Amino acid sequence: MGRLFIPRAAPLALSHTKLFTFRTTTAAARATTTTYASSKGSPRRSVSRPLPDSLVRRTRSTREFNEEEIEHFLSNGTHVPVLLGEVLDVFDRRGRPLRSFVDCTMGAAGHSSSIIRAHPELEIFIGLDIDPVAYKMANVQLDLILNNVEAERKDRALQRYTYLRNFRDIRSIVRQVDANISSDGVDGILMDLGMSSMQVNNAERGFSVLNDGPLDMRMNPLASLKAEDILNSWPEAEVGRILREYGEESNWRKIQTKIMKARTGGGLHSTNELLNLVRSACGGPAGRQGWMKTATRVFQALRIAVNDELNSLRDALFAAFDCLAHGGRLAVISFHSLEDRIVKQTFLDIINREEGGSPVKKKNDCEEEWCKQKIDGKFGTILTKRPITPSTDEEKLNRRCRGAKLRVLQKVPQE
Ligand SMILES: C[S@@+](CC[C@H](N)C(=O)[O-])C[C@H]1O[C@@H](n2cnc3c(N)ncnc32)[C@H](O)[C@@H]1O
């Protein structure tokens, strides 16, 4: 209590004067169709119905799932990298070596380690993470991998640079690493959004609806804003906007009123207090569409606001594209519909943008198996007109991959 409200994130670009419909994939074969209507910004959720089988099949990865690729992560209890085989395929290109690579979200370095192992030609690896715990864990993992890799290839050392930084700073980080790759560009960039298992499983971080902990939710523990600051001191309308826009929560008004009421009793300070508040606002069973689902949306909304996630993502996508070499690829894995919509729209904006850079006419060619439908633009090609989603086998082994969507953008090759 007693903290000043400082507006930090511009409202998400959702128009409340127009009527529009979108889908959120909530489980393997389900979707919720949400309709926003009216200029008052009051979302109305229509009936939930399963996603047609044909649509599910169109986005599902057709790559044969290789359990061995993730066995090691499953057995040692660290974060299990999502869509690992699919990501490896994106950067495994005939006739085009991967000499430089940036992992914007190292986490436990699952994707990074596998990329390094799969690409003996890799010369420069840059890894980022905003979370000091993940940063440390990733570096331990990279030490192990690099010791083995170096022993195997004595002829050429891999230069590795890791930074405890926000991925929205990727431009200046790449510049700082090497003037040459800053001007020529990097061959591959990966962003695996969302939270790692280490973050979700640590109750003290306040990310999980399942474990009681402080209302923190900061990816960067040095940042000043926590979830409890928003709940206990931000203006009522701002709290409502966050629930509505970042949580896509139809019951937002009732929850907002309860949050305001809680302030008179000393405010909310633990995730269990927030959970109880949501339960009392919703009533009914906890099940898939019950109050637990609402609680998940409320937690998502707060996390997005605390970490300014959507603005950070949009900025980072433009910056990452600028850092790519001609013909280089940017792969992004998102975990909820707000993120995915930003990735999808920003990719379209990027390939057709007017300002800066000169268009190269040459079309991109992608004959790889996973690349089904493309969208060509002046500056690049979207190689995944529809996103790639995990196979049923991956979903069976790793529940956390549900809802993941992989989108890939390739910069136009040099003439
Ligand atoms: C899903 S995990 C990545 C897991 C990783 N790919 C692996 O295989 O172990 C996402 C990571 O991104 C980090 N992160 C989230 N937002 C970030 C940002 N804006 N800048 C840098 N890292 C960020 C989180 O701290 C977390 O460690």
Measured from the Cα of 108, ligand 1's closest atom is 9
Is the minimum distance from the CB of 114 to ligand 1 under 6 angstroms? no
Residue intervals in the chain for CATH 3.40.50.150: 69-198+325-411
- CA of 110, closest atom in ligand 1: 8
The SS3 of residue 301 is: helix
One-letter amino acid at 282 equals C
pLDDT number for residue 31? 34
φ/ψ of residue 384, rounded to 5:
-130, 80
pLDDT of residue 142: 95
Q: How far is the CA of 344 from the centre of ligand 1 (A)?
A: 19
- The H or E element containing residue 103 is strand 100-103
Are residues 161 and 124 in contact, defined by beta-carbon separation less than 8 angstroms? yes
Asked if residues 409 and 350 have their Cβ atoms less than 8 Å apart, the reply is yes
CA of 221 to the centre of ligand 1 (A): 14
Residue 123 near residue 158, CB atoms below 8 Å: yes
Q: Is 377 helix (H, G, I), strand (E, B) or coil?
A: coil
Residues 383, 409 contacting (CB under 8 angstroms):
yes
pLDDT for the residue 49 = 46
pLDDT at res. 362? 56
Residue nearest to atom 20 of ligand 1 (CA): 166
Binding site membership of 110 for ligand 1 (Cβ less than 6 Å): yes
Whether 111 is in the pocket of ligand 1, judged by its Cβ within 6 Å, is yes
Q: Is the CB of 228 under 6 A from ligand 1?
A: no
pLDDT in tens, the chain (415 residues): 334 444 444 333 333 322 223 233 333 333 333 333 333 334 444 334 445 566 666 899 988 888 887 777 777 778 899 999 999 999 999 889 999 999 999 999 999 999 999 999 999 999 999 999 999 999 999 999 988 777 666 656 899 999 999 999 999 999 999 888 878 999 999 999 989 999 999 999 999 999 999 999 999 999 999 999 999 999 999 999 999 999 998 999 999 999 999 999 999 999 999 999 999 998 877 666 688 999 999 999 999 999 999 999 999 999 999 999 999 999 999 999 999 999 999 999 999 976 655 555 555 667 788 988 899 999 999 999 999 999 999 999 898 899 999 999 999 998 7
Nearest CA to ligand 1 atom 27: 107
**Distance between CA 317 and CA 350 in Å, rounded?**
9
Least Cα distance to 90 among 180, 204, 187, 199 occurs for 187
Identify the CATH assignment for 69-198+325-411 out of 3.40.50.1970, 3.40.50.150, 3.40.190.10, 3.10.129.10: 3.40.50.150
- For residue 363, what pLDDT is reported? 59
Atom 8 in ligand 1: which residue has the minimum CA distance?
110
Distance CA(192)–CA(406), nearest Å, equals 9
Residue whose CA is closest, atom 13 of ligand 1? 105
Q: What is the pLDDT of residue 180?
A: 80
Q: Where are the alpha helices (DSSP H) in 3-81?
A: 53-59, 67-76
388, 59 in Cβ contact below 8 A?
yes
